[in-house]
Amino acid sequence: MYEVGALRVTKDFEQEAGPEFSKKQQEKLARKILEEQYLRRENLGKGKAAEVWFSDHPAFGTKLCAKTNYNSEASVNSPGREFDLQQEYYEAGVRVPKVWMLIEGKEGNGQKTQDFIIMETINGPNLKELLDQREQEGKKFTEEEYQKIKDGIKQQIDLAHQAGLYHRDLHLENIMVNDELNVYLIDFGDATSALASSEDFEIYRTDTIRKGKPVQLVFPKDENILGEFTREVNERKLV
């Protein structure tokens, strides 16, 4: 028997589910997700620290995306920290999947089980899938399409950095594009905020002095993704 150890929902969830979806119904839904009494339609991806499923439940229609099976040894962030960071990205105006629920599960004996982050599903491929698809179909990007994706990547990264947020794991599979070629950042398992100073993070000193000490910022690897995307497009002759 699974129990909900803790449940957090965002304002977006409450607005989309409607006022009739009470706290009791939220807990009932969370318990069903823990017990997998919902339809897992498709495995959307499996990384070093977790996997993501496209699932179905009446409260969400066909929009439920569940991230679970966390490997704490492979992930920098706990599910709770990742949930908070993804919401911070969203509130900073960065295009990311909207998070709805964080479910922390436990068994009847009090032992902790899997946690779930429930979020919206982005309709579209990641950049690697898009490049593979275009190459297989022999279909090139127009100059306008190519530039829109590049501008979108830069815009989302710039918005994040302006808010003091660093992804730290941006690559072709962690950027999605929808049908209109709008760019979304995904997977915040390694993300952090600018003032993190743990030995587990790559950090560098700045010239800014606060309280008599140089501010330390997480080293942003994010700009590498633009070069990776450009190189892949050119090597595959897709523009």
| pTM score, whole prediction | 0.82
Q: Give pLDDT, residue 154.
A: 93
Q: Give pLDDT, residue 237.
A: 94
At 77-133, the pLDDT tens digits run 888 889 999 999 999 999 999 999 998 877 666 666 678 898 888 889 999 999 999
Residue 81 CA to residue 192 CA, distance in Å, equals 9
Please state the rounded mean pLDDT for residues 167-195: 88
Phi, psi (5° rounding) for residue 152?
-65, -40
At 133-154, the pLDDT tens digits run 999 999 999 999 999 999 999 9
CA dihedral 193, 159, 172, 87 (to 10 degrees): 60
Does the pLDDT value for residue 222 go beyond 60? no
At 17-40, the pLDDT tens digits run 777 788 888 888 888 777 775 666
- CATH numbers and ranges of domains, the chain: 2-119 (3.30.200), 127-235 (1.10.510.10)
Q: Between residues 215 and 136, which one has the greater pLDDT?
A: 136
Tokens of 89: 């990205």
58: Cβ contacts below 8 Å, ≥ 6 apart: none
